Structure 1
Amino acid sequence: MISKRRFDFVKHRNIFFIASAAVTLIGIVMVLLWGMHYGVDFKSGTSLDLAVGKATDKAQVEKIFAESGLTPVIVTIGGANNDRVSARYDDVLTEDQVKKVTATFVAAFGDKVSSEVNTVSPDMANEMKNKAMIAVGIASIAISLYVTIRFEWRFALSAIVTILYDAFFVIAIFSIFRLEVDLPFVAAVLTTIGYSINDKIVILDRIRENLRFGRLKTDSDLADLVNTSIWQTMGRSINTVVTVLIAAFCLYLFGSESIKLFALAKMIGLVSGVYSSICLATPMWYLLKKSSLKSVKAAPAKANP
């Protein structure tokens, strides 16, 4: 029997289900109404990164862009000494326009200014967007097939539904807060799916092991088995996610501007993955298994010949 001092995840499952359903519903509404805030990787435009060689601030940089006559949609300052400027344009800049912007910064900061230009055409943006969705879809299907073959269908169904929830949770958060979606974001979603299925397999496999020695006569016995399995793997789950969260947080805190949103998506996905493994996947399996226990008890006994 599970200790009364420990939290009963099965007993409080409806709270988790309702909260998760609410977040999913809000995410669906936001994605349908406003879509995603795509970065230059998924829509046509120009990304201009400048190393100016001196510390600067956003007000000064915006003034210089205004002097060039080509004001970007987004301006960010980065680098160890605030000496790197990233600008995002919705339009595809010509070579002359890029030279004009660079010349304005050279006039302000000197000859040490260097630039890197990335341009995405409309056709290329659509192609990358489609390939990103295909990549996420293939990864999800491949993992789903593996889990289905490797585990009993109840385990597989619980895992599949919740890894899809984790992937969509990251998408929903980025849609709700209008955070930029680019290729590193896709990498973060794929990584989220990988970590999520790892957490779920650890817990579900412990349930499967405990089933070999458990005697399930009542729903309470099943609930105790599930809660016991969760707490037996709790230390591993928490230690794993905290370790990776520390690394992701350091990337967000000290990394360049180009990977900050990747690190943020990673952190969101990690938290969602461990939450769904403990609070969604296992209670979902409990409900599926509980219905099968009832059907066995309800089955009429065969008459002796």
Structure 2
Amino acid sequence: MNFNTKIRFDFIKHSNKFFIFSGILTLLGIISLLVFQLNYGVDFKAGTNMDITVGKTTTQAESIELLKQAGYDKVKLTVGGNNNERVSVRFDEVLPQDKVNVVKKAFTDKFGAKASFEVNVVSPDMAQELGKKAIIAIVVASAAIMLYVIIRFEWRFSLAAIIAILYDAFFVVTMFSLFHFEVNLPFIAAVLTTIGYSINDKIVIFDRIRENLRFGKYKTKEQLSEMVNASLWQTMARNIYTVAAVLIVAVSLFLFGSESIKLFALAKIFGLASGAYSSICIASPLWLILKSKEKKKVAAKPKTNP
């Protein structure tokens, strides 16, 4: 069948290469999680988070020196806000009130009554509960998407889509494990939104495949391959524009946003890139494999004479 579409690159022909590449990345992610694990933030492990507004411009070096005076040499802190007036400090332990008061005193002595404090404590039980709920949220979101695709399309589309979006989520986790970025609640939000954007790309392509499938007769795998490749290129411009628009926003947030949302934006960048890749190079070729097996079974059935 002749599609009025300019095929600039045959994605289906090179699908095995994409599968191998994706498999290597997945294996690398598993090894990274076993060796390096994840750098959990205070949201997922016990600790104390203190946000301090000092009322005037300060520097990271100045804040580190004040914390040393309070008896803390190794802490995670960021300086941001308007004119660098806000200091966020994360302690890997639950600070008792007397130690919190020591930190408060160090900053109050330096900046006076203008210094204000917001202290948040995550207990071990709360951290464990947050971790469980994060996993449940991802599982429920994936299951709901799978059910939606089954209702709207068929199980082959659903299976291909769920494998691809789980790959996208795992890719983001892999990047954060490899580079030891902090994993917190905004990271979970980024993974969930990545799943949403990723399935959107796949639905667009699957919709075109279903439409081409409805108005054509495809008896061989070669004909199906040609149809899927044409469908990819027919939706390519729309997918590129959609992903690029969101990617520009995510990159802008990463470059110009506050420290508190930089990791969220970075996770979104990883997720968007993976989602665009998996929609074309994983989900569609996987559907083709499943559909081709069905064609082979139909062709193998013996014909009965009336």
**TM bucket, shorter chain:** over 0.9
1:89 aligns with 2:91: yes
Contact 2:197 2:275 survives alignment (8 Å):
yes
Shift of 1:72: 4.6
2:166 corresponding residue in structure 1: 164
* Secondary structure of the structure 2 residue equivalent to 1:41: coil
1:54 corresponding residue in structure 2: 56
2:272 corresponding residue in structure 1: 270
Contact 1:214 1:225 survives alignment (8 Å):
no
Shift of 1:32: 2.7
2:199 corresponding residue in structure 1: 197
1:133 corresponding residue in structure 2: 135
The one-letter code of the counterpart of 1:34 is F
Shift of 1:4: 6.6
1:173 aligns with 2:169: no
Shift of 1:5: 5.5
The one-letter code of the counterpart of 2:204 is V
2:75 corresponding residue in structure 1: 73
1:9 aligns with 2:11: yes
* Secondary structure of the structure 2 residue equivalent to 1:50: strand
Q: How does 1:12-27 map to 2 (within 5 A)?
A: 12-27=14-29
* Secondary structure of the structure 1 residue equivalent to 2:95: coil
Contact 2:76 2:89 survives alignment (8 Å):
yes
What 5-or-longer segments of structure 2 have no aligned partner?
A: none
CA distance in 1, matches of 2:163, 2:75: 38
1:28 corresponding residue in structure 2: 30
1:225 aligns with 2:198: no
2:293 corresponding residue in structure 1: 291
Contact 2:41 2:182 survives alignment (8 Å):
yes
1:184 corresponding residue in structure 2: 186
The one-letter code of the counterpart of 1:264 is L
Q: How many residues align?
A: 304
Contact 2:164 2:279 survives alignment (8 Å):
yes
Shift of 1:301: 2.3
CA distance in 2, matches of 1:47, 1:228: 52
Shift of 1:149: 2.5
Contact 2:54 2:86 survives alignment (8 Å):
yes
Contact 1:44 1:90 survives alignment (8 Å):
yes
TM-align CA RMSD: 1.7
- TM-score scaled to structure 1, two decimals? 0.94
Deviations along 1:26-56, one digit per CA (max 9) or x if unpaired, are: 1112223332111001100001111223333
- TM-score scaled to structure 2, two decimals? 0.94
Deviations along 1:151-192, one digit per CA (max 9) or x if unpaired, are: 122111111111111111111111111111111111111111
* Secondary structure of the structure 1 residue equivalent to 2:114: coil
What 5-or-longer segments of structure 1 have no aligned partner?
A: none
Contact 2:7 2:229 survives alignment (8 Å):
no
The one-letter code of the counterpart of 1:92 is V
The one-letter code of the counterpart of 1:26 is L
Deviations along 1:89-142, one digit per CA (max 9) or x if unpaired, are: 011112222222122122223332222111111111111111111111111111
Shift of 1:77: 1.9
